[in-house]
Amino acid sequence: MTAGTGVERGVWAAPGRVNLIGEHTDYCDGFVLPFALPQRTVVTAERLGRPEWSVTSTLTGETVTFDLSEPVTGWAAYVAAVVWALRDAGHDVPGARLHVDSDVPGGAGLSSSAALECAVLSALADLGGLDIPLAHRPKLAQRAENEYVGVPCGIMDQSASTLCREGHALFLDCRTMATEHVPLDLAGQGLAILVIDSRAPHQLADGEYAARRAACERAAALLGLPALRDAALADLSRLDDPLLVRRARHVVTENARVLETIALLREGRLREIGPLMTASHASMRDDFEITVPEVDEAVETALAAGAYGARMTGGGFGGCVLALVEAEKLDAVAEAVHTAFATRGFRPPATFTALPAPGAHRLS
């Protein structure tokens, strides 16, 4: 299935991501609209002459060596997972020494896990001269995280980290994997996206994520549909359980909001996506119930300080909020959020701005 001449060594990078809109829609075969962050994971790698992998991370200060004869756990599982998924797909993965460095905040919903997987995948593919089209890589990296690490994530994060383009958001149809690179010229329109890392501890995240996913799958099955992507709002009256109705309503309305957002972006009407972002947040708060007080506070404060729209991004139960603001109002909005968090007695948030950056690529 594979072979070719690889490179001896090199440096590869893959970014974290934020999702402009389309939350918990990916595993429902729906629509998402992420863009890549300038924050990225960089992997320096060299080929070894034996089927063994050694990985060092500056984050943990550890070196882990494995040959896949024993299960790998902990952070290095994300690396072993990629080797496993590539092998399982029939690729002759070269042994390698890898060094990982990253400025993607971990566990903040910015997908440091996908950044790590996709950077490692890029490195191993080039070291081995493996013929793996870009379009096939997200599924491989997702399978690594699903099957080997055991996290039931959808396809969005790995797609964003692999496929995004600078200056663009990635419109991804998670059923067909069709993509469109939608221009997102924030700076050109005097706009900015403020990312607010709520730094809320999110202990419940894994179990609740799985529970939401299961609810969506149950709702689709009860409706006799392959996925909630195929449901219309009117269908939901056929569900008896009011909780399932709310969960499904989030997905159905969120998919519609993604399509409306893209229609506006195609026409360069960036400011007008604000209300869709805010409606997305309300849906996550009220119907999907995945927000926490810190992210609700960040959204409300940003809006009160003049943001066009604001919403939590990522799986939920903490993580980051995006606020679309006039560039000249950035400081005022950030300051208002810091003040509000202090008043509420929350941990201080971290704030930064994000322009759409490129997906995974070789640096040298």
Known binding-site residues for ATP equal: 57, 107-113
Q: Supply the minimum distance, in Å, between the C-beta of residue 148 and ligand ADP.
A: 13
**Structure-token match 């810190």, residue found:** 294
Residue closer to ligand ADP by CB (options 60, 65) is 60
Shortest Cβ 306–ligand ADP spacing (Å)? 29
Helix (H, G, I), strand (E, B) or coil at 11: strand
Going by the annotation, the residues of the binding site for substrate are 23-26, 209
Taking the least distance from each CB to ligand ADP, the nearer of 37 and 186 is 37
Known catalytic residues? 157
Q: Which does 75 bind (CB under 5 to 8 A by kind): ligand ADP, Mg ion, none?
A: ligand ADP
**Min dist. Cβ of residue 65 to ligand ADP (A):** 15
Question: What's the CA gap between 275 and 303, in Å, rounded?
Answer: 10
Cβ atoms of residues 9 and 300 within 8 Å: no
Instruction: Supply the minimum distance, in Å, between the C-beta of residue 127 and ligand ADP.
Output: 19
Please say which residue, 110 or 324, places its beta carbon nearer to ligand ADP. Answer: 110
Q: Which residues, at least 6 apart from 161, have a Cβ–Cβ distance to it below 8 Å?
A: 14, 15, 16, 17, 36, 111, 114, 115, 117, 118, 141, 359, 360
Q: What are the percentages of helix, strand and coil residues in the chain, rounded to 5?
A: 45, 20, 35
Phi, psi of 38 (to 5 degrees): -65, -25
Binding site for ligand ADP (CB under 6 A): 41, 57, 59-60, 75, 78, 100, 102, 106-113, 116
Q: Are 5 and 92 in contact (CB under 8 A)?
A: no
Q: Which is nearer to ligand ADP, 36 or 220 (CB)?
A: 36
Q: 168 φ, ψ to 5°?
A: -135, 150
Q: Which residue is nearest to Mg ion (CB)?
A: 113
Our CB check for ligand ADP shows the closer of 71 and 107 to be 107
Instruction: Collect all residues with Cβ–Cβ distance below 8 Å to 129 and sequence separation of at least 6.
Output: 3, 4, 5, 6, 7
Q: How many residues does the chain have?
A: 364
Burial annotation 153-189 (CB, 10 A radius, 16+ → b, else e): bbbbbbbbbbbbbebbbbbbebbeeebebbebebeee
Query: Burial letters for 201-233: b for 16+ Cβ neighbours within 10 Å, e otherwise?
Result: ebeebeebbeebbebbeebbeebebebbbbbee
| Binding-site annotation: residue ranges for Mg(2+) | 113, 145
Structure tokens at 347: 């941990």
For residue 22, give both structure tokens: 């389309």
Task: Tell me whether residue 108 or residue 216 sits nearer to ligand ADP (CB atom).
Answer: 108
Minimum distance between the CB of residue 206 and ligand ADP, rounded to whole angstroms? Answer: 8
Residues lying near Mg ion in the complex (CB under 5 A): 111, 113
CB of residue 99 vs ligand ADP: minimum separation in angstroms?
A: 10
Residue 278 binding target from ligand ADP, Mg ion, none, CB below 5 to 8 Å by type? none
Can you tell me which residue has the tokens 């926490």? 292
